[in-house]
Amino acid sequence: MGQNAGKNLLWIGSAGFSVTMMLNALAFFLLQQPASIPLHEQWWSTWFAGYAVWLVICVIGLGLHNKEQNKGFCRQMKWPPG
């Protein structure tokens, strides 16, 4: 992976999550779709997958970003011991 993979995934995940939230709000306020009511029975099958995917991408990006930021930490602390 590239040096900025974590930062890029974090940015892409945040953008996708934001777009999903905006589409859900649009469907709720303007289109008045029953499936857009948060945590409603139909909401889970329509919107939850989108939120979950973007959240997972954000978490992976955050993990990679933190790994990139703390690259020299393990060498300084002589980790793993042994």
Express each pLDDT in 20-50 by its tens digit.
Answer: 999 989 988 998 888 888 878 888 888 888 9
* pTM value surpassing 0.75: no
**Collapsed DSSP state (helix, strand, coil) of residue 46:** helix
Express each pLDDT in 44-74 by its tens digit.
Answer: 888 888 999 999 998 988 888 777 666 655 5
Chain-centroid distance of CA 31 in Å reads: 26
What is the Cα–Cα distance from 15 to 13, expressed in whole angstroms?
5
Q: What is the pLDDT of residue 32?
A: 85
Using a CB cutoff of 8 Å and minimum separation of 24, what contacts does 22-27 make?
none
For the chain, the structural domain boundaries read 5-77
Q: What is the pLDDT of residue 73?
A: 54
